[in-house]
Amino acid sequence: MDWLKIFRGEKQKNSAQTAKDRLMVAVAYQREGRMNGPNYLPQMREEILAVVRKYIRVPDGAVQFNVQREDGLEVLELNITLPEDSPR
Amino acid sequence: MDWLKIFRGEKQKNSAQTAKDRLMVAVAYQREGRMNGPNYLPQMREEILAVVRKYIRVPDGAVQFNVQREDGLEVLELNITLPEDSPR
């Protein structure tokens, strides 16, 4: 997947918001032939975010959550605008 | 960002490989005005995978890693094909 193109395109679309560093995390779960994702998904996502927070200081207010669902596909997106001194 | 479109498109491209459930994790870090990304990505990748393994039995051969870099943008992708009885 050409992630560079995907994220660069997003940057241009939202250029006014992206002068600072940004962190984007997407977790997608795709199930064949079943409508609902597993019920551990929310907790697994929280733990994945906790790992990211270990490495990058993420202010609570800077995190945007977005969940997209369609048939057997469920995608959690985290879009985080980082303070200038964010790297640990 | 239209993640459903992104991941659905990927599914169609690789339809032969995607009859099973899949878990995809993408972490993108965009730094303004600095050339090199942080060097903690490999370790963060291992910890994210460890979280996934807490919930899902993931065979080693089922994990694809991919890192893309360009200027101030660095993207880590984990693509995991899940066995049919994967949930623990």
Q: Which residues of B touch A19 (CB under 8 A)?
A: 32
A63 touching B, CB under 8 A? no
Q: Is B20-81 a CATH 1.10.520.20 domain?
A: no
Q: Are β-strands B22-30 and A63-70 bridged in parallel, bridged antiparallel, or unpaired?
A: unpaired
Percentage of chain B modeled with pLDDT above 90? 5
| Residues A18-37, mean pLDDT to the nearest whole number | 72
Q: Which residues of A touch B43 (CB under 8 A)?
A: 55
Domain borders along chain A are 20-81
Among A31, A29, A57, A62, which Cα is nearest to B25's?
A: A29
Kindly report, residue by residue over A35-51, the tens digit of the pLDDT: 555 678 788 878 988 89
User: Is B7 close to A22, i.e. CB distance below 8 A?
Assistant: no
Contact A57, A83 (CB under 8 A): yes
**Mean pLDDT along residues B6-32:** 71
How many CA atoms lie less than 13 Å away from B10 in the CB half-sphere? 18
Q: Which of A10, A52, A2, A8 is nearest to A27 (CA)?
A: A52
Mean pLDDT for all residues in chain B: 76
Q: How many other C-beta atoms are found inside a 10 Å radius of the C-beta of residue A7?
A: 22
**Residue A53 corresponds to which tokens in the numbers above?**
């927070």
Question: What's the pLDDT band for A11 if we cut at 50, 70, 90?
Answer: low
State the average pLDDT over residues A45-60: 82
Q: What percent of chain A has pLDDT over 70?
A: 72
Residue A1 or residue A40, greater confidence: A40
Average pLDDT over residues B60-69: 84
- Lookup: tokens for B10: 């990927």
- Rounded CA-CA distance B75/B88 in Å is 29
**What does the CA dihedral A3, A48, A80, A29 come to, rounded to 10 degrees?**
50
**pLDDT given for residue B47 in this prediction:** 92
Q: Choose between B1 and A41: higher pLDDT.
A: A41
- For B44-55, write each residue's pLDDT tens digit: 888 988 998 898
pLDDT of residue B78: 87
